[in-house]
Amino acid sequence: MRSRRLTILTISFCIFLVTLFAISLSATSASAQVLQIVLDDTIQPISAEYISRAIEQARKSNDRAVLIELNTPGGLVSSTREIIQQITSSSVPVIVYVTPTGGHAGSAGIFILESADIAAMAPGTAAGAAHPVSLIGPMQVKTDDEMKQKIENDAAALMRSVTSKRGRNIEAAESAVRTSKSFTDQEALSVHLIDYVASSPEDLFRQMQGRPFKRFDGQSDTLNLVGQAIVPFNMTVRQHVLDVLMDPNIAFLLLVIGALALYVEFNHPGTVIPGTVGIVFIILAIFALNLLPTRFAAVGLILGAFALFAAEAKFVTHGILTIGGIILLTLGGLLLVDAPIPQMRVHLITAVAVSVPFGLITAFLMTIAVKARRNKVVTGAQGLVGQTGVAQTALSPQGKVFVHGELWDAVASTPLPIGELVRVDKVEGLILEVVPLEATPPPM
């Protein structure tokens, strides 16, 4: 009997261990997923924050890999370096996959591609053209040879460092920097800039199955991702909002609309709504420009434009100062963001489309405001000065006069008979000082 109980106890304990192992295996399998990031935008601070947050989440969740689906024209060097640092220091393998067909990893994009544990491209994509440039507004600026060489050497060194650690073609990667060379998917594969050309993530996982790859620390590893769940990792609401604000065209538009709304509030105190809109828009614009490489000289041009609009209202120049203000505002918009690619600068059409209407509207409103302040007061007691009336009683020197539809107490400098036409010369409290109408000096 005792032996039978011992046997039952042993079997129950074994079943418990098997169940516990199955639960543990199931939990491990549930966490074994591929975290997917879609980066279809310029490379800027929000992009770097998004990728950093995803890699950290993958580490905490013990995910098998991070898949970055990339399609970008390029972006800021500082943000690119931050992304590369996150990828190369990640404990979870990072796959960068240039997709969809027709997409590209331009400029900063190829740096991110080469820094990945596994680099892949979809058919019909391209990568390269990473030569650093200096731009002002819509034009490329020719820098002096020494500065150009410094910038180019720095970018080339970054490319060599990430490519060599992954065991890829250093010379081909450096040519993307030195000569702005671009590569199709097949060209990149043939010169070993990438590891795979795949039509989909699933196709990529099949090709990768069991094949070793080189991690940034020099160790070799393999990934078996066939059948693994691909879980999208989305931006937060805050990141979505800031990502939209990172468009310099939107930041410039918010800045100008905010300034116009504040001007309306200053000229109509107590309206509240324009003032609130103006403050919110300007704060949002300043926040976005703080994250972008902003030229403060351009801010000076924008302030100069406002000064010219105000001067137009004070000194009648028949639109000359307004035109000057529009030109300054347009140049200020074009120079506002010092970015390396056109997609991260204020476009010429945006600057003109915003500056011309804004200049005309502002000059018009300022002209109306100045004229209103210069006009003679026509309300209240002071509005009676200059008005004509009739003596209702004899003024010797005090009596009653009928002015502006009302009966007033009045005094005259000389006695006046009843029915005499008079003009109001001054108002003292509720008493009018009047003079005979014929004594009014002729207008100059």
Specify the 3-state DSSP secondary structure of 222.
strand
DSSP-assigned letters across all residues of 20-38: HHHHHHHHHHHH--EEEEE
177 pLDDT exceeds 50? yes
What is residue 386's predicted lDDT score, i.e. its pLDDT?
77
Higher pLDDT, 15 or 280: 280
Phi-psi label, residue 124: left if phi above 0, alpha if psi -120 to 50, beta otherwise? left
* Residue 378: per-residue pLDDT: 52
Q: Which residues have CB under 8 Å from 402's CB, separation 6+?
A: 389, 390, 392, 408
Place of tokens 């990529």: 204
pLDDT attached to residue 370: 61
Q: Residue 371's pLDDT is what?
A: 63
Q: How do residues 279-299 score in pLDDT, each as one tens digit? A: 999 999 988 888 888 888 898
Q: What is the structure's pLDDT at 32?
A: 61
pLDDT confidence bin for 24, thresholds 50/70/90: very low
At 170 the pLDDT is: 93
Which pLDDT belongs to residue 66? 96
Whether omega for the bond prior to residue 248 falls within 30 degrees of 0, making it cis, is no
> What per-residue confidence (pLDDT) applies to 383?
66
Q: Does 313 score more than 70 pLDDT?
A: no
Q: Of 41-55, 123-137, 251-265, 362-376, where does the model show the most confidence?
A: 41-55
Read off the pLDDT band of 21 (50, 70, 90): very low
Mean pLDDT of the chain: 83
Closest CA to 362 of 314, 332, 333, 322: 322
Residue 57: both structure tokens together? 């989440």
Q: Is the backbone of residue 107 left (phi > 0), alpha (psi -120 to 50) or beta?
A: left
pTM over 0.75: no
Per-residue confidence (pLDDT) for residue 51, from 0 to 100 = 95
Predicted local distance difference test score (pLDDT) of residue 135: 43
Q: What is the pLDDT of residues 360-416, one digit of tens each?
A: 887 777 767 666 555 555 555 666 787 888 888 888 888 889 987 788 888 988 888
Of 316 and 221, more confident: 221
**Closest alpha carbon to 126 in 65, 213, 193:** 193
Question: Which band of pLDDT confidence, cut at 50, 70 and 90, is reported for residue 98?
Answer: very high
Q: Which two tokens stand for residue 388?
A: 């004509």
Residue 244 is given by DSSP the state H
User: Are residues 224 and 29 in contact, defined by beta-carbon separation less than 8 angstroms?
Assistant: no
* Rg of the chain, C-alpha, whole Å: 38
Q: Which of 331, 355, 137 is nearest to 256 (CA)?
A: 355
pLDDT at 261 over 80: yes
Cα separations in angstroms, 412 against 15, 214, 290: 119, 106, 68
Report for 24-38, 241-255, 351-365: range of highest mean pLDDT: 241-255
Domains of the chain, first to last: 18-235 (3.90.226.10), 247-374 (no CATH), 381-439 (2.40.50.140)
Q: What is the pLDDT of residue 80?
A: 93
> What pLDDT score was predicted for residue 441?
53
- With cut-offs at 50, 70 and 90, classify the pLDDT of residue 252: very high
Q: Which amino acid is at 26?
A: S
Mean pLDDT of 50-60: 94
Residue 137 has pLDDT above 50, yes or no: no
Asked whether residue 229 carries a pLDDT value surpassing 80, the answer given is: yes
Q: Which residues pair with 105 in a beta bridge?
A: 72, 127
Long-range contacts of the stretch 319-323 (C-beta < 8 A, 24+)? 319/363, 321/363, 322/359, 322/360, 322/363, 323/359
pLDDT given for residue 292 in this prediction: 86
Q: Out of 12-16, 266-270, 318-322, pick the least confident.
A: 12-16
